[in-house]
Amino acid sequence: MKKSTIAEIKERFDNDVERFSNLETGQVATIDATISLELITEASKRIVPDATTVLDVGCGAGNYTLMMLSKLPNLNCTLVDLSLPMLDRAFERVSAATNGKVEIKQGDIREADLEENSFDIILAGAVLHHLRDDNDWETTFAKLFKLLKPGGCLMISDLITQDTELLNQYTWQRYGEYLEGIGGGEYRRKVLNYIEIEDSPRSMNYQLDLMKKVGFSKVEILHKNMCFGAFGGIK
């Protein structure tokens, strides 16, 4: 199936700012969204307790940065997203939560002009599953690695697959049942169709191996539940 273009993804998020501004309603299709958000920000704080800079990739309305600021106030925050309405909302919310500088950059992280070795923490919440082929994944992970300061961390919370097809089918079947339990058969079809059209997730193993390949000194699994996981690497 032909996947959504960047322009199509941008348009969808342009029209969904309100939902993504509310953690309770915005992430209902994401299993353990609040747990993963807590884990990746708390891990980041413990890895880099004296952090001064955070980069939020695909920041949406700013939920991840806001949680990070609740643990490390006054960070200088760089927010990157395709959607300008999302960025505007994130800028407004994040600026109210920090005395640090807040910079927004509209566009694709793959093309964003950012300084290497300049971030203590990079957060990537529900964004990397939009990467497509192996080259896309590798060049993006290599770029994120270069953007980090030595000792900094990349923390990811995302949709994932299984490497073994039998188990992959099982986890997606369970996820479908979870969705049906929330909103019935129609909701299940809607979410799974949208994932089919827009997303191209990879397994946690694939991403951890890729982190090691591009240079991360340590990789860690924080949480996994069916087809969602929270994990990261330290430069």
Please choose, from the candidates 57, 56, 159, the residue with its C-alpha nearest in 3D space to the C-alpha of residue 108: 57
Q: Phi then psi for 211, rounded to 5 degrees?
A: -60, -45
pLDDT of residue 36: 95
- Residue 25: pLDDT above 60? no
d(CA 36, CA 56) in angstroms, rounded, equals 15
d(CA 71, CA 49) in angstroms, rounded, equals 9
CA distance to 98, 124, 139, 167, per residue, from 134 (Å): 37, 18, 9, 22
Upper half-sphere CA count for residue 38 (Cβ side, 13 Å): 5
Mean pLDDT check: name the lowest of 23-27, 66-70, 216-220.
23-27
> Superfamily for 6-163+201-234?
Vaccinia Virus protein VP39 (3.40.50.150)
Overall average pLDDT of the 51-69 stretch: 96
pLDDT of residue 28: 74
d(CA 234, CA 212) in angstroms, rounded, equals 10
Other CB atoms within a 10 A radius of the CB of residue 9 amount to: 19
Kindly indicate the confidence band of residue 211, based on its pLDDT and cuts at 50, 70 and 90. very high
pLDDT of residue 5: 74
Task: Tell me how far the alpha carbon of residue 193 is from its chain's centroid.
Answer: 20
Mean pLDDT check: name the lowest of 12-16, 141-145, 206-210, 223-227.
12-16
- Residue 26: pLDDT above 60? no
What pTM, to 2 d.p., does this model score?
A: 0.93
